[in-house]
Structure 1
């Protein structure tokens, strides 16, 4: 669910940025009132993209904190299992690194 939300927001941000780029390109060839309107719309699109990016960052930070908290609770409740898993992962990484 979290990954699909990030993908959807990422897609929206890319669309917003593409639209803003198109507007800025169009505004470069225009002059006067139309150019000012196009620039203003481009600024609005960029602000929307920044807000979306901030929302994604906030969501990722909250999820990361939640996962860290749950991992901390698990390690405190199951210290020997955690040590066994950490040792196993370390052994596997060591074997992979030493392979030629």
Structure 2
């Protein structure tokens, strides 16, 4: 999932939740049938936000599986390159930590 897609999804979810909160607040101030309609609309907005969040999670999981599979393939094809890269990253990380 690209950063712009993540930002868009996050913005959509925040907007849906804010709209739902506004409707619940307005429903609390209203009475009768109007209040019930606002509560129903608010619940629908929250349900929509949950669905969007679940879809974003599914895409993130699928993308991470693809990345893991690609990494595994690379390591299987180039084991010594993977060892050298891992050792270099570990050494640099160790140096950075030891300075603090």
- Which TM-score bucket, shorter chain as reference? over 0.9
Structure 2 distance, partners of 1:2, 1:91, is 30
Written as runs of structure 1 = structure 2, the 5 A alignment for 1:1-100 is: 2-100=2-100
Deviation, structure 1 residue 4: 1.0
Structure 1 residue ranges without an equivalent (≥5): none
Once superposed, which parts of structure 1, at least 4 consecutive aligned residues long, lie more than 6 Å away? none
For structure 2, which runs of at least 5 residues remain unmatched after alignment? none
Count of matched residue positions in the alignment of Structure 1 and Structure 2: 100
Q: Whose relative contact order is higher, 1 or 2, with alpha carbons under 8 Å and at least 6 apart?
A: 2
TM-score by length of 2: 0.97
RMSD after superposition: 0.9
TM-score with structure 1 setting the length: 0.97
